[in-house]
């Protein structure tokens, strides 16, 4: 696996977790990285070094996505890849009948609408160049559903459907659009969840362990690299055997 000289990738959710691990791995392989996050991603950019940049971004804001990613493209002169790791869990360990619709909507605004916003911000540029790699981090919950996490599961299922549609729409343009469906990965977001919810999810993994951040980052780096050229609209699993289809 390798990246051509000058390769540029924007990473959302870069302040922590999978986004941070991915940004650092890509930078270590010579990729110019834009670290985007609603939180402060300056530490990630500083650790990445080189040509790394950082910008605040709320992906639930469509106008902000167009403005910030437009700035990244202008600054770098090109954008080869987009890794969308931004996401929220929302309510957990709660039955659907008790779920507040406002909470459901808030989760979808980030996990689903946000994915659409950042994709729309970069697709015209990538299509115009005849090359691009878009990767959205979904979840195994989007394929199988997690009890007590209806908002999160539904938003990630919608994201997988969005990726399938976009992958087919742009299949002849040189732009690929894929998703990654991790099971439980050791991230700050998971650490903040109730222990009972984490145990419920981990017990369903045949390997009986969480995935590690570097495992996710390595897979993402390949998917958004030039070598992943004949797969689009697909959801890659990273589930320790939980999903085998």
Q: Which residues contact 179 (CB under 8 A, 6 or more apart)?
A: 135, 136, 137, 138, 159, 160, 163, 234, 235, 236
For residues 90 and 101, give the distance between their C-alpha atoms in angstroms, rounded to a whole number. Answer: 11
| Domain that includes residue 189, residue range | 8-231
The answer to whether residue 239 is domain-embedded is no
- Specify the pLDDT at position 12: 98
Over residues 173-190, the mean pLDDT reads 89
Q: Which of 7, 152, 170, 200 is catalytic?
A: 152
Q: Is 236 among the domain residues? A: no
15 — pLDDT class (breaks 50, 70, 90): very high
Q: Which of 149, 187, 223, 14 is nearest to 237 (CA)?
A: 223
Buried b (16+ CB within 10 A) or exposed e, 107-130: bbbbbbbbbbbbbebbbebbeeee
| pLDDT reading at 48 higher than 70 | yes
Provide the pLDDT for residue 194.
80
Query: Residue 154 domain-assigned?
Result: yes
In this structure, how many other beta carbons lie within 10 angstroms of the beta carbon of residue 105? 13
* Of the candidates 34, 74, 71, the residue with the CA atom closest to the CA atom of residue 54: 34
Torsion over CA: 19, 243, 123, 189 (sign): negative
Residue 200 known to be catalytic? no
Instruction: Give me the mean pLDDT over the 208-235 stretch.
Output: 95
The residues, ordered by sequence, that sit 6+ positions from 172 with a Cβ below 8 Å of its Cβ are none
When divided into structural domains, the chain yields a total of 1
Question: Does residue 143 lie within any of the structural domains?
Answer: yes
- Position 133 pLDDT exceeds 70: yes
In a domain, 240, yes or no: no
Let me know: does 133 contact 187? Beta carbons within 8 Å. Answer: no
**Is position 124 within any domain?**
yes
Is 60 exceeded by the pLDDT of residue 1?
Answer: no
| Average model confidence (pLDDT) across the chain | 94
CA trace torsion 124, 127, 131, 137 (10° rounding): 60
Q: What is the predicted pLDDT for the residue at 34?
A: 98
**CATH code of residue 148:** 3.40.50.720
Is 0.75 topped by the overall pTM?
yes
Rounded to whole angstroms, how far apart are CA atoms 125 and 78?
Answer: 8
Sorting pLDDT into bands at 50, 70 and 90, what band is 198? confident
pLDDT at 227: 97
CB-count burial class (<10 Å; 0-12, 13-18, 19+) for 46: exposed
144 within 8 A of 187, measured Cβ to Cβ: no
Question: Higher confidence at residue 183 or residue 154?
Answer: 154
Q: Residue 113 pLDDT more than 90? A: yes
Express each pLDDT in 55-81 by its tens digit. 999 999 999 999 999 999 999 999 999
Checking if the pLDDT of 8 tops 80, the result is yes
Instruction: Indicate whether 181 belongs to any domain.
Output: yes
Contacts of 169 (CB under 8 A, 6+ apart): none
């Amino acid at each position: 696996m390798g990246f051509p000289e000058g390769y540029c990738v924007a990473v959302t959710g870069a302040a922590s977790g999978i986004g941070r691990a991915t940004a650092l791995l890509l930078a270590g392989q010579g990729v110019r990285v834009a670290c985007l996050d609603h939180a402060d991603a300056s530490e990630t950019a500083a650790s990445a070094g080189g040509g790394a940049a950082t910008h605040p971004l709320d992906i639930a804001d469509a106008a902000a996505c167009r403005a910030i990613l437009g700035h990244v493209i202008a600054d770098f002169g090109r954008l080869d890849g987009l890794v969308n790791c931004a996401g929220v869990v929302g309510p957990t360990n709660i039955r659907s009948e008790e779920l507040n619709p406002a909470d459901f909507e808030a989760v979808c605004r980030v996990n689903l609408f946000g994915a659409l916003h950042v994709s729309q911000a970069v697709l015209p540029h990538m299509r115009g160049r005849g090359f691009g790699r878009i990767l959205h981090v979904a979840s195994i919950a989007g394929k199988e559903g997690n009890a007590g996490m209806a908002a999160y599961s539904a938003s990630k299922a919608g994201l997988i459907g969005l990726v399938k549609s976009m992958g087919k729409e742009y299949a002849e343009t040189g732009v690929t659009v894929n998703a990654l469906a991790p099971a439980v990965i050791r991230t700050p977001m998971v650490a903040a969840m109730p222990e009972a919810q984490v145990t419920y999810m981990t017990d369903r993994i045949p390997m009986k362990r969480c995935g590690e951040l570097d495992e996710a980052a390595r897979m993402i780096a390949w998917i958004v690299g030039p070598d992943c050229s004949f797969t689009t609209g697909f959801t890659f699993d990273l589930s320790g055997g939980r999903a085998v289809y």
